[in-house]
Chains A and B, each alone.
Chain A
C-alpha cells in the first residue's frame, strides 16, 4: 500500500510548509515528521516526501543520507546513543559503552533481537560538563556510572 501521512500529520505538514519562504526549506522537518510517522525512512517514504514537497527523489535521498538523525534502517523502540567524544571519553565513555554492549548482548550499530534496543555511538551532544552521557530516544542521561546505566536499562524494560 502506498505510504501517506495521516490527516493530522498532513494538517501539520501544510501548516509547517506554509511558514517557510520556500517549500524546500521545510524538507528536513518534514523528513523528521515522516520518520516519526513511518518508523524509518525507507525508499517509499523518501519518494512520498519528494512528491509532496516537490523535489526530485535523489535530492531527498542525498539529504537523508547526510544527517545522522534520519534513519534509512529501522531502529529499536529505544535508541540508545552513547557519546564517545573527548570530554565523555576522558570521563569513562568507553566503560559505559562496554557495559551497554554486555548488558544488551549486542555490538555498536546493532539492534536486540526483540527489536527493543538499538545501540549507537555518537559524537558530542553538548553535555560535556555532566559526562559521561547517553541519549535514549529524546532524553538525556548524564553523569553516568555503570550502576546508573544498569538502572536506566532496567527502567526501560
Chain B
C-alpha cells in the first residue's frame, strides 16, 4: 500500500521545510492558490470522501461547506492538536515528524473557507511538538506560505500556535472553542454548530491534525485517487495507534477496510509471551471493548466497526492479553473519565465519579452482585443526556466491560479478589 500520511516520517530531517519541499510539499498549496477557487478546493475534498479523523468521522468537505459565504464576521480555522484520547498518539507523530503537512493542510482549509486567521490548538503537555511546530510555522512565514499575499495570490493568512494547559475535554470541538476564548474547556450546546457560531460567535471550522495533514495530498494527487482507496463509505487510509499487549506497538497507516484480525496478528506481530488475546479496544478508551471472539470478520472502517458494536473512533487500538483483569481495566478507564469530566452536566459529573467508586470497590473485593446492574443503570442514565459526547464516551465502555466480561466480574465479586492471580 502506498503511504500517504506517513510518507515522509522516516526521512531524515522530515520536519524541515527543505525536506518537505523536496518531497513535493507546498505544491498543492501553490496549485490551489493559482488554479482553484476556494469552492473548488472544498468540492475536491468532498469528492475525496475524506471523513474527520478526530473520532466522529464527519465528512470534511461537507463540514467546510456549512460556513456561510456571505457572513460579515471573521471566519476561523482551527486545527485540533489536543490529542488526549487514551491509546492515541498518531497526531503527536505527525506534529513531530511532518509538521509542514499539517501547516499546509491548515492553509488549504483556511483558503477553502476563506478564513484569514487560523489556530493550531496543541495540548500543553506536548512541549517538544510545540517547538517543532513553532519552527515549521516560522519557516512557512519566511517562505511566503503564511502572512500577507501568500505566493503572490492576494490571499492573506495568520497562523497562531496556541498551547493548552491540560484538560482532556478541550479535544471536544466546542470545549476547545471555550478554552480558546480564554475560559474553562466547557463544551457548548449544539446547534448552533461552530461552522456558523464558533469562536467568539463567528463561523469556525475545527479539524483534527490527521484530517488536515492529508488534505495537501488530496489536492495534489486529486480526489479520485484518494477515493479509490478504502471502502465504499470509508475512503482513504487511516492511522492506527497500537498499544498494550502487542509485539510491535506503534503507529500504522492502514487502508480503510483492512481485516482487523490480520492487522493485529500479522502487521503488529500478535500478542507476545505465548499469551492469548482477551480483548481489544479499537478506537481509543471511549469506545466499547471487543472480546477476542468478536474480532473475526471485523474490518478497519467506520461501518464494519459499528456493525461489530463498537466504533473506529480515533484509531487508538489497545490490546489486552489473557492475564488482564477486566475489573481493574474497567476501573482504570472509569477513573480517567471521572478525572476528566468538566462538571457542567449533572449526569456526567455525578455519574462518572459514582461509576468509578463502584468499579473501585468491586476491584478491592467489597463489591456486591447488584453493583453490576447499578453501573449499567448509571451508564444508561448518562448516555444521550449530556451537552457533549463525553458522557457517552464514559458510559459506553463501562457498560461494555460488564456486558462482555460479566462472568469475570461476578466471580471477582464472589471471591472478593481478582480471579486471574
Residues of B near A131 (CB, < 8 A) are: 243-244, 249
Within 8 A of A (CB), among B59-85: 74, 76, 83-85
Pick from A5-13, A27-35, A97-105, A108-116 the stretch touching chain B: A27-35
Residues of A within 8 A of B328 (CB): 89
Query: B47 → chain A, closest Cβ, in Å?
Result: 32
Neighbouring B residues of A125 by C-beta, 8 Å: 125
- The answer for the CA separation of A55 and B183 in the assembled complex, in Å, is 11
Determine which of B92, B162, B184 lies in contact with A126 in the assembled complex, contact meaning CB atoms within 8 Å. B92
A106 proximal to B (CB < 8 A): no
**Which of B86, B179, B182 is close to A55, meaning CB atoms less than 8 Å apart?**
B182
Decide if A31 touches B165 in the complex (CB within 8 Å). Answer: yes
- With a cutoff of 8 Å between Cβ atoms, the chain A residues found around residue B203 in the complex are none
Render B177-190 as a binary contact track against A, CB cut-off 8 A, 1 for contact.
Answer: 00111111100000
**Interface of chain A residues 4 through 24 with chain B (CB within 8 A):** 19-22, 24
Contact B243 A24 (CB under 8 A): no
- On chain A, the residues within 8 Å of B166 by CB distance are 67-70
B380 within 8 A of A: no
Kindly specify which of B38-46, B329-337, B353-361, B369-377 makes contact with the partner chain: B329-337
Binding-face segment, B214-222, B316-324, B406-414 = B316-324
What's the minimum C-beta distance from A144 to chain B, rounded to whole angstroms? 14
Find chain B residues with CB under 8 A from A26 CB: 182
- Distance in angstroms from A11 CB to nearest chain B CB is 17
Please, which residues of chain B bring their CB within 8 A of the CB of A140? 128
B303 close to chain A: CB less than 8 A: no
Check if A145 is an interface residue, CB within 8 A of chain B.
no
In the complex, are the beta carbons of A123 and B243 less than 8 A apart?
no
Residues of B contacting A84 in the complex (Cβ-Cβ under 8 angstroms)? 332
Docked complex Cα distance between A66 and B200 (Å) = 20
Are B87 and A86 touching (Cβ within 8 A)? yes
Query: B125–A87 contact, CB under 8 A?
Result: no
A128 touches B245 (CB 8 A): no
Residues from chain A with Cβ under 8 Å of B86 in the complex: 85-87, 123-124, 128
Separation in Å of the A82 CB from the closest CB of chain B? 13
List of A residues within 8 angstroms of B200 by Cβ:
21-22, 25
Residues B244 and A87 in contact, CB atoms below 8 Å apart = yes
Verify if A58 is at the interface (C-beta below 8 Å from B): no
Closest to A64 in B: B165
* Residue A43 lies at the interface, judged by CB distance under 8 Å to chain B: no
Q: Which residues of B contact A91 (CB under 8 A)?
A: 243-244
Are B251's CB and A129's CB within 8 A? yes
Expressed in whole angstroms, the Cα–Cα distance for A135 and B242 within the complex equals 21
A86 & B329 in contact (Cβ 8 Å cutoff): yes
A69–B126 touching, CB < 8 Å: no
**What B residues does A3 contact at CB under 8 A?**
none
Give Cα A140 to B92, complex, Å: 12
Residues of A within 8 A of B324 (CB): 90
Which A residues are in CB contact (< 8 Å) with B124? 32, 67, 69
Contacts of B126 in A (CB 8 A): 126
5 chain-A/chain-B pairs, Cβ below 8 angstroms = A29-B162, A67-B164, A89-B328, A123-B84, A129-B242
Residues of A within 8 A of B (CB): 19-22, 24-29, 31-32, 53, 55, 59, 62-63, 66-70, 84-87, 89-91, 123-131, 135, 138-140
With A28-B163, A29-B163, A86-B332 already in contact, 9 other A-B pairs whose C-beta atoms are closer than 8 Å? A26-B182, A27-B182, A69-B125, A84-B332, A123-B84, A124-B285, A128-B318, A129-B89, A130-B249
